[in-house]
Amino acid sequence: MLIIPAIDIKGGKCVRLTRGDFSQQKIYLDNPCDMAVIWRKQNAKMIHVVDLDAALTGEMVNFEVIRQIVDELDIPVQVGGGIRSADAVKRYLDIGVGRVVIGSAAVTDPGLIREVLKSYRSSKIVVGIDAENGIPKIKGWTESSGMKDYELALRMKDLGVERIVYTDISRDGMLQGIGYESTKKFAEKAGMKITASGGVTNFEDLIKLDSLKPLGVDSVIIGKAFYECNFPCQKLWYHYEPGICIDRNYSTARTK
């Protein structure tokens, strides 16, 4: 089970939201690149970055911040948030982003998925499905897609997509436990590689997710639980990919 720390960027700062609500934001660090370096220093194998401003506007507001993170690290960086054109995909991959996560456009412009998969390997193109009660939401979680989460996944599978980042919105940022049942149900119907996201609170959540590996759930994105230091004694890292919660006094010495 690959564990992927999350960095959400809004207004150039590292923040976390509660259930995607932009009015419920907490700033953890002014410089997201410093946060990325902290995760790498703790031996993270991949970083998940979301441009929250772009998720709302469709404009690559924090592109330069993300470029700095990619330049600074020697591990893959996965980027999502407002990627709604082939040009946006190209710009990210050209600066060295490991893979892009396309969310809203998978619903509003499925032709984009078909187009970019002609130019890039499927390992570079991931679809993000952020669902509430089994219904994907788009445009920064402000609109409903009008279809079931697994229906969207199967449409993407037909286009050649191999991996889904699946988020249970009702759990995201709540620190009330992973949406195990919703993730399991989705994985059973989708039959794809899945990165779980939303609500991971403690080590027990990871044990639960680990049981879903036969269904394709092979990785997990963790956000607020890391930032709020919900893994006492670093028990997590003795069993899974190495990492750590924030040490407020940790040196931000560069990795390169």
More reliable by pLDDT, 158 or 244: 158
User: Is the Cα torsion angle 128, 132, 135, 137 positive or negative in sign?
Assistant: negative
Domain ranges (residues) in the chain: 2-238
Helix 110-119 and helix 86-94: axis angle, to 10°?
40
Q: What is the pTM of this model?
A: 0.85
Quick one: fold of 2-238? TIM Barrel (3.20.20)
DSSP 8-state assignment for residue 214: G
More reliable by pLDDT, 139 or 53: 53
pLDDT digits (tens, 9 = 90+) for 26-48: 888 899 999 999 888 888 899 99
Please identify every residue annotated as catalytic. Answer: 8, 130
What is the distance between the alpha carbons of residues 32 and 227, in angstroms, rounded to a whole number?
13
Average pLDDT taken over every residue of the chain: 84
Q: What is the largest CA-CA distance in the chain?
A: 48
